[in-house]
Amino acid sequence: MGFMIDNSAVKSAAKRLEVIGNNVANANTVGFKGSDFESALAAAVNTETGLPSNGGRQSFMQGDISATSNPLDIAISGTGFFRIESGSRIAYTRSGQFQLNKEGEIVNAMGEKLTGFQADPETGSILAGRPVALTISQANDPPKQTAKAKLDLMFDSRSAAVPAAASATVADRTSIEKAGASQGIAVAARLAADAASELAAARAFDPNATAADKAAATAKAAETAAKADEAEAAAALDAPAGTAARDRISTAAFQAFDVTDPTTYTHSTTTAVYTAQGVEVNVQTFYVKLADNTWDVYSWLGGSDLPAKLGGLTFDSSGNVQSSTTFDNVADASTLTPNSKKGQFGITIDNTDMVLDLAATTQYGSKFTVRVSQDGRGVGQLMNYSVGADGLITARYNNGNSKTLGQVVLANFRSINGLTALGNNQWMESAASGSAEVNQPGVGVLGSLKASSTEAANIDLTVEMIKMISAQRSFQAAAEMMRRQDETMQTVVNLGR
């Protein structure tokens, strides 16, 4: 029995040295999780004939995170495992060194695929469900035609009217100014009436309002409504003369317009838009001052195309767009109608309808300024991609667009110490660990991701060296005990002779 106990001690010390050697050998292995002596001893030592063991345990303590230059090197900061698959085999790992294979799939060095949630190709929304192999497509980003170009302009109110408009009669200029002023008064009066009406309605249902308060609010609403009606009636009387005068001045200005002569227009700017096939087209717009607060808008596509007269803008006394008109007949550009969508003008390029939105344009006593945005783009080629802390994989294209391609998921278990080790820094679920709980990084107890980074092994070489010295001494002591036991047995045998 003594020999069996000594033999068990030698085996346990040898196994302890084996575990320590394995830890030291993998000190530079990305994502490696060290083992302690007890986990190895539980599987190697017969406890009925040797030393007892408290059971297995592997250290899943966080390793240090260091930066790399590979965007698909991903470190987990906190709890969780990457979910990888090879055929029907599912495994879990902390090693986040990945790359693309020829199909664009994200794989590790052994070709096993990283899994996660897919993204809707149209909206980029994550489609949660069963994790699938993640792919970074090298396909071009399709073009998107421009539906609206938004031009936030600031006209210089100090600018003089163009010569063709300046030569208009005093009567015409007076009619335009009078119609504009009347319309401004009418708009302001109607806004005041609407506000008074809303206040009266609120007072009517306010339990804290007195009867006198309610009556006063109702009377005020009626008074402002009557004034608004009067102002609108006066504006309606002035409008025909103002419209006719504006038509005459506008026609004269357009007939004199020449894209090569800057005296025939006041301001101009160029906006790049895109057709349905992703062709970039430069639309040049011209802004012609006819009178105070009164402007016309032209467009030109360049080359042999003729300039088009889009419509007109009228500003209020505060410098904001008060109203706009659209010209019905581009050929003679003489008939205009009120624009139902203030400040918006339609153009057609290569059978593609677009909107130029000038509703935010202002008129102040300062230099002409331009700020343009539009919702179209040309075809885009993949420039780079990145993985966010939440696992979202984002592709960026040279047309300025970006797109979500998918999301890396993490898995966790009720008992990570119950996982079955597979080697190669991988584990699989078992009855002891419970089923994998898969979700997005950062949800619940799951950690976050750090791209272009790797997690180092959680091995402290100093500690391992100390353990090695202790294990070596234990081994020597156990071996010496066996030698002493052998000598004792030999002495007993000799006595019997």
pLDDT along the chain (497 residues), means of 10: 53 64 60 54 44 52 85 92 94 92 93 94 88 93 93 94 76 69 78 86 86 86 86 76 72 87 94 91 94 90 86 89 71 49 86 89 95 93 94 94 95 91 88 93 93 76 65 62 62 61
The structural domain count of the chain equals 3
Query: Is residue 10 situated within a structural domain?
Result: yes
Query: Is residue 70 situated within a structural domain?
Result: no
Last residue of a domain, one of 324, 357, 374: 374
Q: Are residue 360 and residue 416 in the same domain, yes or no?
A: no
CATH of the domain at 357: 2.60.98.20
Q: Are residue 130 and residue 154 in the same domain, yes or no?
A: no
Query: Is residue 223 situated within a structural domain?
Result: yes
Q: What pLDDT was estimated at residue 465?
A: 66
C-beta atoms surrounding 419 within 10 Å: 22
Q: What pLDDT was estimated at residue 129?
A: 87
Query: Is residue 71 situated within a structural domain?
Result: no
Q: What pLDDT was estimated at residue 16?
A: 64
Query: Is residue 143 situated within a structural domain?
Result: no
Q: Are residue 444 and residue 480 in the same domain, yes or no?
A: no
Q: What pLDDT was estimated at residue 283?
A: 94
d(Cα 329, Cα 401) in Å, to the nearest integer? 38
Q: Are residue 412 and residue 288 in the same domain, yes or no?
A: no
Residue 281's DSSP bridge partners are: 273
Domain hosting 396: range is 78-137+381-455
Q: What pLDDT was estimated at residue 372?
A: 94
- Exposed, middle or buried by CB within 10 Å (0-12, 13-18, 19+), for 83? buried
Query: Is residue 72 situated within a structural domain?
Result: no
Q: Are residue 487 and residue 440 in the same domain, yes or no?
A: no
Q: Are residue 273 and residue 421 in the same domain, yes or no?
A: no
Q: Are residue 402 and residue 390 in the same domain, yes or no?
A: yes
Query: Is residue 421 situated within a structural domain?
Result: yes
Residue closest to 188 by CA, chosen among 363, 326, 318: 318
Q: What pLDDT was estimated at residue 44?
A: 47
Q: Are residue 88 and residue 187 in the same domain, yes or no?
A: no
User: Is the CB of residue 441 less than 8 Å from the CB of residue 410?
Assistant: yes
Q: Are residue 328 and residue 276 in the same domain, yes or no?
A: yes
Query: Is residue 398 situated within a structural domain?
Result: yes
Q: Are residue 354 and residue 411 in the same domain, yes or no?
A: no
Q: What pLDDT was estimated at residue 334?
A: 45
Is the four-CA dihedral 492, 494, 495, 497 of positive or negative sign? Answer: positive
Q: Are residue 293 and residue 358 in the same domain, yes or no?
A: yes
Q: Are residue 436 and residue 463 in the same domain, yes or no?
A: no
Residue closest to 112 by CA, chosen among 83, 86, 136, 93: 86
